[in-house]
């Protein structure tokens, strides 16, 4: 049967299109517009072409050097955060009680940090880690280990990693818990009958079944940690020196501290592209073996 | 390979069971001989799977003992018991190939690689999994996956028994036959004890040489398929086996006559010493009731179900309803139909249990 084709239906998506245009395309294009111009006071703009991009991607220039240094710090931070939080989250999920009131309490306590706003988390850890009045900082100093995040690189990074782990490991744990819950009992029973060790049960049953939730967990944690701004801004303000100046912090310094809108625009675009690219790579790498198995 | 004895075995999932209803399995004593093909048959929730899990050690019974060849294994862990179990849904290790899946139980027990390879090849041959050996297990169809599950059970040559927990539920009807005959062939070839749980009587009757019928946590009859059909020891067995099941009619029995709602029916044997105060019923299979317009007691035909190969009529005898075989030519409008019973095939039940008559 021939159906009449009526393209008038396309008009129905116009409102949605208008909203997307307003909240995504137009702001994004503004940034693109800035990135190809140089700005001076008095709202004067001069065409700069791809100049900012060239400078940004050239490590020998002042802007480029700064960009790659903060990019490196952001990448390192994300790598540490993933390496700590993913195994820890899985371990927490595996050791959670299976039922009853203990489970309910456990879920509440694990979810609690997730509900606390970023700047509050930052403030909490800023106070908690201070060497003069903070419980953590004071204690560590008291047992003889010098710990002052305002002048020690290691201490500053430790505080940030601890804080992020405290804040977000619960997310991985909850995701993994849901994933573990969905594994039918028969798998564990079959493993017992097959004489599998606890380690084999983990690597051969649990981990493969957690694959899809871990994919989501790793993606979310990568994006969040790579874009982290508020907490380090509150705790360390990017210091001491610039050792905790991540890309986001550096970007704000350039945009709002120095009012170099062109440089900041170019940096924003490259920053966004990096996140997009890395997420795409993560996704592809983690999804591909599954598809291959199905197609073989 | 072993004989399995269950001694005074009972299980309740809740602590401190008091009444019969608290037990998932009521106290029982049974033994399963080495090399037998058993089917555990019963409706959902009758305790089949519990019994199976007790034998395999996944569940520790609240009472009694499980003996393998006389050795008490009641508290022995599953992995130490030499038992294989196949579950309702195919359980495969996703990340492994078919070959690795089959080798897994052997490797876990530290068998040398050469012996593992030989054994895996043998089992793959038996199950027609040869061509798939190096494929990822998760890429296969559900029935191939279930074959892998079966294979992991069969691959250990020393198992005391292989337990199947409704293993064909997810399999296509056409492949069900094939897999079931495969199991039967494997049973003959390997001389293994197999216990097969199902709620499907066809599956049970075609697979097993001994069918164990369970009802409400108790074994009500254990016997060969034809025994279950010809001499159901419990009205439940009569209902459950056969399609439609046995007709069970409340009656008063005296000597060689049963009185069903005022209609006298002759019995094959004489029942003189029926204890008073028990619920007395007679049971007869639809196959042994003849529907005709000639002889017997008058009935009203209410419905005729045509199953293609055979037709069954639902008839009304006084207040009681019966299923009877409808011979060709019988029509619904025949209000002068009569039924006659084969006296030798009528059983008498007191409180649902069959009682033996005198010759």
Same domain, B228 and B266: no
pLDDT in tens, A20-57: 999 988 988 888 888 888 877 777 778 887 888 888 88
**Do the bridges between strand B210-215 and strand B37-41 make them parallel or antiparallel, or are there none, so unpaired?**
parallel
Strand partners, B265: B258
pLDDT value at residue A289: 59
Cα–Cα distance for residue pair B45/B214, rounded to 1 Å: 10
Q: Which of A119, A128, A154, A166 is nearest to A244 (CA)?
A: A154
Beta strands across the sheet bearing B347-350: B247-250, B280-284, B347-350, B353-355
Tell which of B52, B77, B78 to mutate to test the A interface (max A CBs under 10 Å): B78
For residue B67, the tally of other CB atoms under 10 A from its CB is 16
> What 3-state class would DSSP assign to A37?
strand
Residue A292 has pLDDT above 60, yes or no: no
Same domain, B127 and B30: yes
Number of domains in chain B: 2
Residues of chain A in contact with residue B141, where contact means CB-CB under 8 angstroms, are none
Residues of chain B in contact with residue A195, where contact means CB-CB under 8 angstroms, are 79, 105, 108-109
Least confident of A125-129, A178-182, B106-110: B106-110
Winning range, highest mean pLDDT, from A56-60, A77-81, B43-47, B140-144: A77-81
Cα–Cα distance for residue pair B211/A18, rounded to 1 Å: 70
Looking at every residue in chain A, the average pLDDT score rounds to 87
Residue B7 has pLDDT above 90, yes or no: no
Same domain, B225 and B283: no
Residues of chain A in contact with residue B152, where contact means CB-CB under 8 angstroms, are 190, 194
Q: In the numeric block, which tokens belong to residue B112?
A: 């040398």
**Residue A232: C-alpha distances to residues A14, A70, A130, B9, B176 (Å):** 41, 13, 14, 64, 62
User: What distance in Å separates residue B145's CA from the closest CA in chain A?
Assistant: 13
Residues of chain B in contact with residue A205, where contact means CB-CB under 8 angstroms, are 93
* Average pLDDT, integer, range A135-156: 88
pLDDT value at residue A296: 36
> What 3-state class would DSSP assign to A128?
helix
> What 3-state class would DSSP assign to A39?
strand
Strand partners, B255: B271
Q: Which of A180, A204, A182 is nearest to A192 (CA)?
A: A204
**Residue B172: C-alpha distances to residues B158, B205, B263 (Å):** 31, 19, 48
Same domain, B229 and B263: no
Percent of chain B with pLDDT over 70: 98
What are phi and psi for residue A246, nearest 5 degrees?
Answer: -80, 170
Q: Which position has the higher pLDDT, B130 or A72?
A: A72
Cα–Cα distance for residue pair B244/B286, rounded to 1 Å: 7
Cα–Cα distance for residue pair B168/B149, rounded to 1 Å: 11
Band the pLDDT of B1: cuts 50, 70, 90: low
**Residue B212: C-alpha distances to residues A27, A158, B41, B220 (Å):** 74, 66, 6, 8
pLDDT value at residue B253: 86
- The CATH number of residue B147's host domain is 3.40.50.300
Enumerate residues 6+ apart whose C-beta is below 8 A from B122. none
Residue A290 has pLDDT above 70, yes or no: no
Q: Which of A172, A131, A173 is nearest to A152 (CA)?
A: A131
Cα–Cα distance for residue pair B296/B292, rounded to 1 Å: 8
Domain termination residue (choose one: B209, B240, B271): B240
Same domain, B259 and B290: yes
What is the b/e burial string over A137-155, where b = at least 16 CB atoms within 10 angstroms of the residue's CB? beebeeeeeebbbeebeeb
Enumerate residues 6+ apart whose C-beta is below 8 A from B183. B150, B164, B194, B196, B207
pLDDT in tens, A92-138: 999 998 888 999 999 999 999 999 999 999 999 999 998 888 899 89
- The CATH number of residue B308's host domain is 2.40.50.140
CA dihedral A30, A31, A36, A40 (to 10 degrees): 80
pLDDT value at residue A255: 84
Q: Which of B146, B163, B153 is nearest to B59 (CA)?
A: B163
Domain termination residue (choose one: B240, B271, B300): B240
CB–CB of B19/B77 below 8 Å? no
Residue B334 has pLDDT above 70, yes or no: no
Band the pLDDT of B204: cuts 50, 70, 90: confident
Cα–Cα distance for residue pair B349/B279, rounded to 1 Å: 8
Domain termination residue (choose one: B217, B240, B263): B240
Band the pLDDT of A65: cuts 50, 70, 90: confident
Q: Which of A266, A226, A269, A272 is nearest to A249 (CA)?
A: A226
Q: Which of B236, B232, B225, B212 is nearest to B47 (CA)?
A: B212
pLDDT value at residue A157: 93
Is residue A49 left, alpha or beta, with left meaning phi > 0 and alpha meaning psi from -120 to 50?
left
In chain A, the domains with their CATH numbers are 67-295 (1.10.3720.10)
User: What distance in Å separates residue A288's CA from the closest CA in chain B?
Assistant: 13
Same domain, B203 and B339: no
Band the pLDDT of B155: cuts 50, 70, 90: confident
Same domain, B189 and B84: yes
Q: In the numeric block, which tokens belong to residue A243?
A: 């050792």
Same domain, B255 and B182: no
Determine whether A105 is exposed, middle or buried from the number of CB atoms within 10 Å of its CB (0-12, 13-18, 19+).
exposed
Q: Which of A227, A197, A240, A174 is nearest to B108 (CA)?
A: A197
| Three-state SS sequence of chain B | CCCEEEEEEEECCCCCCCCHHHCCEEEEEEEECCCCEEEEECCCCCCHHHHHHHHHCCCCCCEEEEEECCEECCCCCHHHCCEEEECCCCCCCCCCEHHHHHHHHHHHCCCCHHHHHHHHHHHHHHHCCHHHCCCEHHHCCHHHHHHHHHHHHHCCCCCCEEEEECCCCCCCHHHHHHHHHHHHHHHHHHCCCEEEEECCHHHHHHHCCEEEEEECCEEEEEECHHHHHHCCCEHHHHHHCCCCCCEEEECEEEEEEEEECCEEEEEEEEECCCCCCCCEEEEECHHHEEEECCCCEECEEEEEEECCCCEEEEEEECCEEEEEECCCCCCCCCCCCEEEECHHHCEEEECCEEECCEC
Chain A residues with CB within 8 Å of chain B CB: 184, 186-187, 189-190, 192-197, 200, 204-205, 208-209, 293-296
For residue A18, the tally of other CB atoms under 10 A from its CB is 10
Looking at every residue in chain B, the average pLDDT score rounds to 85
Same domain, B70 and B89: yes
Same domain, B158 and B190: yes
**Residue A67: C-alpha distances to residues A71, A275, B20 (Å):** 6, 15, 76
pLDDT value at residue A202: 92
pLDDT value at residue A56: 83
Q: Which of B269, B290, B280, B292 is nearest to B344 (CA)?
A: B269
ipTM value greater than 0.85? no
- Containing domain of residue B217, as a range? 4-240
pLDDT in tens, B163-192: 898 888 877 888 788 888 888 888 888 788
Q: How far, in whole angstroms, is CA B87 from its chain's centroid?
A: 16
Residue B267 has pLDDT above 90, yes or no: no
Tell which of B76, B108, B134, B141 to mutate to test the A interface (max A CBs under 10 Å): B108
Same domain, B52 and B146: yes
> What 3-state class would DSSP assign to A46?
strand
Same domain, B216 and B305: no
Residues of chain A in contact with residue B91, where contact means CB-CB under 8 angstroms, are 184, 186-187, 190
Chain B residues with CB within 8 Å of chain A CB: 53, 56-58, 77-79, 83-85, 87-89, 91, 93-96, 104-105, 108-109, 135-136, 138-139, 149, 152-153
């Amino acid at each position: 049967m021939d159906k009449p084709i009526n393209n008038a239906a396309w008009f129905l998506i116009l409102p949605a299109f208008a909203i997307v245009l307003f909240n995504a395309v137009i702001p994004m294009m503004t940034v693109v517009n800035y990135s190809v111009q140089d700005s001076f006071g008095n709202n004067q703009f001069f065409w700069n072409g791809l100049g900012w991009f060239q400078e940004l991607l050239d490590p020998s220039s002042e802007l480029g050097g700064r960009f790659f240094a903060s990019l490196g710090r952001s990448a390192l931070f994300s790598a540490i955060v993933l390496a700590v939080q993913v195994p820890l989250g899985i371990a927490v999920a595996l050791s959670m009680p299976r039922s009853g009131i203990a489970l309910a309490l456990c879920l509440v306590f694990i979810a609690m940090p997730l509900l606390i706003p970023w700047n509050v988390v930052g403030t909490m850890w800023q106070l908690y880690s201070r060497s003069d009045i903070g419980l953590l900082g004071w204690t560590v100093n008291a047992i003889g280990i010098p710990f002052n995040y305002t002048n020690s690189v290691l201490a500053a990074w430790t505080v940030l990693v601890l804080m992020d782990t405290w804040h977000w490991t619960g997310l991985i744990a909850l995701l993994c818990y849901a994933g573990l819950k969905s594994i039918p009992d028969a798998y564990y029973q079959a493993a017992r009958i097959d004489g599998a060790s606890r380690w084999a049960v983990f690597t051969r049953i649990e981990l493969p079944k957690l694959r899809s939730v871990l994919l989501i967990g790793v993606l979310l944690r990568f994006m969040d940690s790579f874009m982290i701004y508020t907490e380090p801004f509150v705790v360390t303000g990017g210091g001491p020196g610039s050792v905790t100046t991540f890309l986001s912090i550096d970007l704000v310094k350039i945009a709002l501290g120095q009012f170099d809108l062109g440089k900041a625009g170019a940096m924003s675009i490259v920053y966004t592209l990096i996140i997009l690219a890395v997420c795409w790579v993560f996704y592809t790498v983690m999804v591909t073996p599954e598809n291959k198995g199905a197609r073989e | 390979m072993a004989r399995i004895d269950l001694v005074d075995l009972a299980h309740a999932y809740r602590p401190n069971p008091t009444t019969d209803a608290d037990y998932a399995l009521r106290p029982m004593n049974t033994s399963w001989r080495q090399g037998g093909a058993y089917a555990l048959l019963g409706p959902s929730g009758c305790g089949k799977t519990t019994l199976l899990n007790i034998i395999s050690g996944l569940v520790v019974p609240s009472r009694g003992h499980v003996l393998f060849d006389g050795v008490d294994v009641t508290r022995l862990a599953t992995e130490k018991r030499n038992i294989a179990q196949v579950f309702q849904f195919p359980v495969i290790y996703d990340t492994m190939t078919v070959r690795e899946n089959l080798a897994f139980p052997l490797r876990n027990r530290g068998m040398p690689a050469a012996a593992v390879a030989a054994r895996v090849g043998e089992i793959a041959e038996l199950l027609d999994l040869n061509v798939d050996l190096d494929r990822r297990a998760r890429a296969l169809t559900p029935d191939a996956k279930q074959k892998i599950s079966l294979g992991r059970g069969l691959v250990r040559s020393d198992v005391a028994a292989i337990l199947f927990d409704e293993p064909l539920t997810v399999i296509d009807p056409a492949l069900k036959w094939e897999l079931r005959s495969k199991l039967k062939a494997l049973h003959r070839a390997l001389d293994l004890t197999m216990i097969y749980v199902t709620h499907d009587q066809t599956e049970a009757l075609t697979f097993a040489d001994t069918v164990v019928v369970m009802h409400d946590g108790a074994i009500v009859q254990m016997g060969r398929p034809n025994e279950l059909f010809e001499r159901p020891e419990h009205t439940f067995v009569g209902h459950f086996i056969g399609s439609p099941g046995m007709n069970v009619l409340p009656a008063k029995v005296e000597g060689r006559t049963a009185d069903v709602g005022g209609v006298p029916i002759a019995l094959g044997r004489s029942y003189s010493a029926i204890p008073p105060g028990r619920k007395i019923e007679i049971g007869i299979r639809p196959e042994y009731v003849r529907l005709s317009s000639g002889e017997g007691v008058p009935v009203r035909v209410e419905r005729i179900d045509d199953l293609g190969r055979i037709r069954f009529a639902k008839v009304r005898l006084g207040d009681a309803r019966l299923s009877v075989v409808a011979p060709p030519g019988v029509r619904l409008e025949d209000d002068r139909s009569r039924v006659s019973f084969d006296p030798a095939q009528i059983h008498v039940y007191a409180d649902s249990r069959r009682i033996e008559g005198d010759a």
